[in-house]
A and B are shown apart, each in its own frame.
Chain A
Amino acid sequence: MTAVDARQVQGSSAPAGVAGQPQGTGRSVVVGAMLLLLLAPFVPLVLASLAEGYFFPQVLPDRWSTRAWRIVLDPSGRTWSALVDTVTIGVAVMVLSLVVAIPAGRVLGTRRFRGKRVVELVLLTPVLVPAVAVAIGIHVVFLRLGLAGGIPGVVLAHLIPATPYVILLSAGVFANADLELEAQARSLGASWWRTRLHVTLPLVAPGLAVAALFGFLVSWGQYVLTLVIGGGRVVTLPILLFATASGGDASVTAATALFHSLPAVVLLVATTRVLGGQGFATFGGTR
């Protein structure tokens, strides 16, 4: 029961066009409608972000305005510092989780041993247990250790949900990599380090990059762990967005929400390019 069955998902980038299937326009229409439904929630955000006094029953705004975007993009405003904090935390989480995930992923992906299923289960539980429970459980200890209310504490907290994903994805990467090549390189006299650097790394780098990206995105969307452990002092984009949404300015809220989505969308398009059209299919959803 590996929740993200990384191997299955990983080994899927081969295009599988099936010839000879009847291609109804009906299917295209249904797919089109489905995609429209999935994109529909962005429409009111875009409209509201470009409006002023956008009240019921306006569909298109009576007054178009860049006010909300000017506020959100204001260089001295809170958005940019929130972006910096979110990226800082995300990168730290990504790097740290990768550091523990690579050795663990290699073992899980390439070796059979007693207790492997138990290990997989143990690694999976933090993904399943609600973040609220984790957050209020560690909060007091973090307070005592002086970790609450600062970025290091938030990074540690984000590692809890991020690391399991990165490990399980890395396991899939190693399982699919042709590590026979390592042995061949060693037998040809390459040193351990040379083998790792010139043989193993190129084999697993693209997959590990995706796993790392996943770790980043888990951190990128975290709300409740940041809220409780950061104590309001660590203002990441989700925290800022939530605070803005409670502030009652629908236009600024909409612009902040779109600003918060953009990097994720850019990453999606980038991975799609790199991985030949599969994009996030390589690793499924993010939390």
Chain B
Amino acid sequence: MPEARAESLILVRLQPFADLRRFLAPGQQGPLTFSLRPGSTVRDLIGEAGIPLDAEITAGINGEQGRLESALNDGDEVVLFSPMEGG
């Protein structure tokens, strides 16, 4: 009898930077780990994290610039920045 097999999820780590850290719980430092369905995008990940998409966001995936529509793979490290800050 075939084993019941759950669709395998991917594990992705998310680190928001600078003022995007306001979406972390108080005292929480990150990175946060999420299990997502394969084929999930950066947009999906941001939604999972409860970060509203109207915040101006730059996403990096494993050190390279990513887009909101970029598909994620197991083990990806995603960073999020809001580029507008600082004087």
- Same complex origin of A and B: no
Chain A residues in the interface with B (C-beta under 8 A): none
